[in-house]
Amino acid sequence: MTSRLQLRLALWVIRTVALVVPAARRGAWRREWDAELQHHALYLGRRRQRSWSTDMDLIRRALGALPDAAWIRRQFTLDAEVVHDVVYGTRALLKSPAFTTVTLLVFAAGIGAAIAIVSVADTLFFRPLAVQQPERVMTIWQRNHESGAERLDVAPGNALDWLARTRSFEALAIADPFTFNLNFAGREPDYLTAARVSEPFFGVLRIPALHGRLFLKEEYRRGAPRVVILSHALWTSRFGADPSLVGTALRLDAGDPFTVVGIMPPGVELRLFDDRARRAEVQIWMPKPGFDEAEFKLRVYGAWNVVGRLRPGVSAARAQAELDLISGQLASEYPATNGRMSAQVIPLRTHLAGGLRDLLPFLLGAAVILLAVACANVASLLLARGTAREREFAVRQALGASRLRLVRQMLVESLVLAAAGGAIGLLAARWMLDVVGRLRPADIALVDRMPMDVRSAALACGVTAVAAVLAGLMPALQLSRPSSVMALREGRGGSRRAIGRALVVLEIAAALVLVVGAGLLVRSFMLVERVDPGFARDYHVSVLQVFASNRIDTPPKRIVFFEQALERMRALPGVIAAGAVTAMPFGEARVIARGMIEIPGHPTAPGEDAFAYTTAVSGDYFKAMGVPLLGGRLFDATDTSASRQVVVLSRRAARQFWKGADPVGSRVRFQFSGTRFDAEVVGVVGDLRHEALDAPAAAEVFLPYAQSGFRALTFVVRTAPDAPIDLATLKEQIWTLDPLQTIFSAAHLEDLVSKTLSQRRFNVVVLGGFAIVTLVLAAGGVYGVISVSTSQRVREFGIRSALGATDGEIIRLVLAEGVKLCLVGIIAGVSVALPAAHLLEALLFGVTATDPITFFAVSAGLVVVGAAACYMPARRALKVGLAEALR
């Protein structure tokens, strides 16, 4: 290869590589390399001997220019442009602190809300669970396809048939949850939630033990040594997270001690109990030693939970189809018990998301709307600020800044704002999730365990970037238009103002949609709150739920025990009435007995529902609850186990079964707790709602506790308003009688009722919060646009007032402009909200989705807010002196 050709090739390499070098430095860079290569070529030419390696030397050296060029490019991009843009942008932002503060807050609100909701969605649906491959884990429940009741606990007989007949699952297991008396020395007796699980249970979930091991195969056999696995929560709270606990014996009940063989890892949340029972997570796991003969026959009652792991490639829908088939077989084999029953397959994640699953689309929608409004708001702020920065842009353009450069500069500024806003938003999101965690209704798992990690940081960055581009792109494109400066000078800057107005209309429309949604929820909440539950809700009623321990093992002993406890409570100072009941309305673990009732002389028509709740009451239960007596008499001391059997009916039962006739004096037959009753009706009382304020009262038949001796009772104590009694004093009364007796729960009646509203309260607070923030942002948007337009119209106002216009007339002019914008936004918002509100229907109570009162009130409210936002700019316009205005 001649050195001439080599040199040409080398120079061509440099010319090509030079394209990588930033234009500003390209010329000098190329000259330097050209000179070095040409000098080297001369040097090589002077040398005598030539070889292959010296031949290639120039090319090799020319290629060495590439890393140099790349390095310069990287440095240039890093510090010369982006860093410069960031520094310049930050400096520019610091120069207008008011603008920056407002923009930061707006961004923080939008981004924070979006981050909070997106991370909730992420946790519920995507984050790894303690369970491995959770998408294949299904929970299976019973469904009453006649009443429509869903997600019911499973009767053992049905669960065992599912275990035997399904093919869709590689493993199917049952858990039998129960509560356990725990008596540690030196502590108040307490309840633990425990579950006996069948052998494949931990295999279905695939959760390895944190310490120790899972149960062995032989430990699931009858007569095996007694072993337990503890939950992480119990292990840390009761045993100080001591790993040496594994292998030790633990005395849990009166019987033999259990050996602790393992500790579960944290985060094992399964919500095994029916979602209406507000009980704790399982704290103790035990192996279930085989199945009893009796369990195969129980098809109506039972509280088992069934979990299964799908075979690879089998979908939840196929498993559901298979179980439907099996339910059909069971219905024909056991028509009496299984006629209305079918199976319901719910993926574990869906089950854990609980009530939030249905709400989440709304929350995501609200967060998106809020983020969009925040971005629109920032966009109009940036536009307004751009108008003030026109000179700067004009100068920079004149100095040769390309449009791309200006757009990038402005995008970087909005990114700086969004990043700072996002950082504040992230803190706000943490705080919001804290609130969400505290408010969360009982059936939602996982939400309050919101870690701040790489994953949430990535989410936050993503949301922030989206917000920055959404808010910054349009103003950047608009302001960097080469002709924009000239156009404005010639008085044709209308397009920018038009964009500002369009943004405000959009904000108002979006705010209306959210506020209407929140308004409907608030109205529903208020209407539910006002529902009369049939008893007097207040804080002067204390509720104490007690399951008699195994030592009090016969009904007569229980009757004596509970009567003594009631006597002690009645004797406390300030107690007005004290009673007890088996099925406490709104109680935390309600033992509800529902049975067929039979009225001699009143044959029920075929298909007619002759079911009623059967409830035993003791003492002054009705008086303590404030339930009115409507006819006949209440129970008294003469109704004992020795006297004839009597019942009191609820009004609903009287109406439903006696159809208007007076039931007092007639007879009724039913079963309660395995005993047949043939009782005389002695009275009728008002209806009591049991489950929730928005669930109607059902027919109820009350019998005296003295005639039943049921194991569980809930004490209800009403005290005088001026002599409150604390729950500890009531617990003392039980423990004086039996220091080892556990108390399931103690609460005030009002708190119990209030708890059932937690889902609604949650909806109201979360969606209401979104609505308020959006409304504030929209009002800010109106304020901004009217401020700008008013300052541009100062001259006009000056002339008008010179010509005799009063202050009032000028204020009216400004208000008219703002209100017009609001009206357009409201019309746009209503036309979206009217169809969209129907989506909320399932969450409403007592109002329709198109409730005219809500729509009208919200629209009127928005006009008022809009007008208020115009008032300040209008006042400011008036303050400008005439001479100043005309200058």
Partner 1 sequence: MKLTYPTTLVLHALASGFRHGFEILDVTGLPSGTVYPILRRLEREALVSADWEDAAIAHDEQRPPRRYYELTPSGQRILGSALLRYRMPRSIASRARRLRPARS
CA–CA distance, 415 with 808 (Å, rounded to integer): 43
**Residue 3 Cβ vs partner 1, minimum distance, rounded to whole Å:** 13
- Phi, psi at 418, each rounded to 5°: -65, -40
Half-sphere exposure of 650 (CA within 13 A, CB side): 24
User: With CB under 8 A, what is the number of residues at the site for partner 1?
Assistant: 19
Per CB under 8 A, the segment of 61-69, 131-139, 237-245, 352-360 that binds partner 1 is 61-69
- The 3-state DSSP class for residue 593 equals strand
- Phi, psi at 142, each rounded to 5°: -95, 150
- Asked if 731 interacts with partner 1 (CB under 8 A), we say no
Q: Which is nearer to partner 1, 31 or 551 (CB)?
A: 31
Q: Which is nearer to partner 1, 62 or 546 (CB)?
A: 62
Q: Which is nearer to partner 1, 62 or 345 (CB)?
A: 62
Contacts of 83-92 with CB under 8 Å at 24 or more apart are 85/408, 85/409, 85/412, 85/413, 86/412, 86/416, 88/409, 89/409, 89/412, 89/413, 89/416, 90/416, 92/389, 92/413
- Asked if 64 interacts with partner 1 (CB under 8 A), we say yes
Q: Which residue in 26, 55, 59, 61 binds partner 1 (CB under 8 A)?
A: 61
CA–CA distance, 446 with 143 (Å, rounded to integer): 25
**Residue 829 Cβ vs partner 1, minimum distance, rounded to whole Å:** 56
Per CB under 8 A, the segment of 57-65, 263-271, 369-377, 605-613 that binds partner 1 is 57-65
CA–CA distance, 702 with 625 (Å, rounded to integer): 14
Q: Which residue in 27, 67, 339, 724 binds partner 1 (CB under 8 A)?
A: 67
**Residue 37 Cβ vs partner 1, minimum distance, rounded to whole Å:** 8
Which residues ranging from 394 to 433 are in contact with partner 1 (CB under 8 A)? Answer: none
CA–CA distance, 580 with 9 (Å, rounded to integer): 101
**Residue 399 Cβ vs partner 1, minimum distance, rounded to whole Å:** 24
Per CB under 8 A, the segment of 60-68, 80-88, 336-344, 869-877 that binds partner 1 is 60-68
Q: Which is nearer to partner 1, 57 or 199 (CB)?
A: 57
**Residue 39 Cβ vs partner 1, minimum distance, rounded to whole Å:** 6
Which residues ranging from 444 to 473 are in contact with partner 1 (CB under 8 A)? Answer: none
Q: Which is nearer to partner 1, 26 or 276 (CB)?
A: 26
Q: Which residues contact 3 (CB under 8 A, 6 or more apart)?
A: 41, 44, 45, 55, 58
Q: Which residues contact 779 (CB under 8 A, 6 or more apart)?
A: 865, 866, 868, 869
**Residue 64 Cβ vs partner 1, minimum distance, rounded to whole Å:** 3
Helices 97-125 and 758-792 cross at an angle (nearest 10°) of: 150
Q: How far is CA 816 from CA 316, 555, 756, 797, in A?
A: 59, 79, 47, 14
Q: Which is nearer to partner 1, 42 or 254 (CB)?
A: 42
- The 3-state DSSP class for residue 785 equals helix
**Residue 55 Cβ vs partner 1, minimum distance, rounded to whole Å:** 17
Q: Which is nearer to partner 1, 67 or 556 (CB)?
A: 67
Q: Which is nearer to partner 1, 12 or 301 (CB)?
A: 12
- Asked if 600 interacts with partner 1 (CB under 8 A), we say no
Angle 268-445-193 from CA coordinates, rounded to 5°: 55
DSSP lists the bridge partners of residue 172 as: 308
Interface mask toward partner 1 for 73-102; x: CB under 8 A: --x---------------------------
Interface mask toward partner 1 for 761-780; x: CB under 8 A: --------------------
Which residues ranging from 3 to 42 are in contact with partner 1 (CB under 8 A)? Answer: 28, 31-32, 34-36, 38-40, 42
**Residue 398 Cβ vs partner 1, minimum distance, rounded to whole Å:** 29
Q: Which is nearer to partner 1, 84 or 167 (CB)?
A: 84
CA–CA distance, 219 with 226 (Å, rounded to integer): 8
Q: Which residue in 8, 45, 71, 856 binds partner 1 (CB under 8 A)?
A: 71
CA–CA distance, 179 with 841 (Å, rounded to integer): 38
Instruction: Record the tokens describing residue 85, joined without a space.
Output: 């843009």
**Residue 85 Cβ vs partner 1, minimum distance, rounded to whole Å:** 19
Q: Which is nearer to partner 1, 25 or 276 (CB)?
A: 25
Dihedral over Cα of 719, 722, 723, 726: its sign: positive
| Run of H or E residues at 370 | helix 356-388
CA–CA distance, 268 with 851 (Å, rounded to integer): 43
**Residue 482 Cβ vs partner 1, minimum distance, rounded to whole Å:** 34
Q: How far is CA 523 from CA 362, 697, 759, 846, in A?
A: 17, 22, 15, 8
**Residue 45 Cβ vs partner 1, minimum distance, rounded to whole Å:** 11
**Residue 377 Cβ vs partner 1, minimum distance, rounded to whole Å:** 42
Residues lying near partner 1 in the complex (CB under 8 A) are found at: 28, 31-32, 34-36, 38-40, 42, 61, 64-68, 71-72, 75
